[in-house]
Amino acid sequence: MPDSSEDEVGRLREALLDLCAERGYKKLKLKHLLERAGMDEDDFHRHYADLDACFAAVLGDIYDQFFARAQEAVAGQSGWRDRMRATAYALLRFLRGDERVARLAAVEVQYAGKRAQELFLETFNRLVNLLDEGSSEADGPESPGLATAIGVGGVVFARIQEAVAKGELGLGEEEIPELTKSS
């Protein structure tokens, strides 16, 4: 039997994912989350200081799961371009696994609090560094640097974010090689 604390956190996570997908984080109030999760405010505050802290905790868990998949995806890939493509494909597969997760991680994060914004930037930077590790395998004056990883990564991830916002996660995969070709 699961620990009641784990059960409460799980219910809050599921309620947050559902409500962000249904109405968006900007319109979400703590009372909505509590109603959906079937708990009272005291139960909630045993786990989180406020709604933004709850959002950040869920987001951090999602980003950690994705980053682990990205690390697996780039293992054995040679060169930054292959690493970029592998990471982008892994991101699409991950986000397609649960549209609610996709919405929260790629779209609703824009409306969340300071900690969620920090997590977004930290995760993007971790991904850029992961991608940039592949640039050390290229030699010569045309070898890409960190700026290339940031630029190309930004373009690819912005396109994926746009696909999530439009509910078009089936689109975009065929664009990934094209987006990484010009750099």
Distance, CA of 73 to CA of 87 (rounded, Å): 6
| pLDDT band, residue 45 (cuts 50/70/90) | very high
Q: Is residue 152 part of a domain?
A: yes
Q: Pick the closest to residue 80 from 144, 141, 158 (CA basis).
A: 144
| Structural domain contains residue 107 | yes
46-53: long-range contacts at Cβ-Cβ below 8 A with a sequence spacing of 24 or more? 46/5, 46/8, 47/5, 47/8, 47/9, 47/12, 48/12, 52/112, 52/113, 52/114, 52/115, 52/116, 53/113, 53/115
Model pLDDT, residue 171 = 53
* Of 92 and 170, the one with more pLDDT: 92
Number of domains the chain contains: 1
Residue 40 lies in a domain: no
- Does residue 49 have a pLDDT over 90? yes
Among 66, 50, 64, 160, CA closest to 114: 50
Q: Is residue 146 part of a domain?
A: yes
Asked if residues 95 and 17 have their Cβ atoms less than 8 Å apart, the reply is no
DSSP assignment of 34-102, as one string?
A: HHHHT--HHHHHTT-SSHHHHHHHHHHHHHHHHHHHHHHHHTT--SHHHHHHHHHHHHHHHHHT-HHHH
pLDDT for residue 143: 59
Assigned token pair, 82: 């292959």
Instruction: Average the pLDDT over 18-44 and give the result.
Output: 97
Query: How far is it, in rounded angstroms, from Cα 71 to Cα 94?
Result: 13
Q: What pLDDT is stored for residue 180 in this prediction? A: 54
Summarize pLDDT for 133-157 with one digit per residue, the tens.
766 655 555 556 777 777 777 777 7
Which domain, by its residues, includes 147? Answer: 56-181
Instruction: Indicate the pTM of the whole model.
Output: 0.85
Please write the tens of the pLDDT for every residue from 79-126. 777 887 888 888 888 888 999 999 999 999 999 999 999 999 999 888
Q: Is residue 165 in some structural domain?
A: yes
Mean of the per-residue pLDDT values of the chain: 85
Residue 94 belongs to a domain: yes
The region of weakest confidence among 1-5, 48-52, 144-148 is 1-5
| Inside any domain, residue 35 | no
- The CATH number assigned to the domain holding 156 equals 1.10.357
Most confident of 47-56, 63-72, 83-92, 136-145: 47-56
Domain contains 5: no
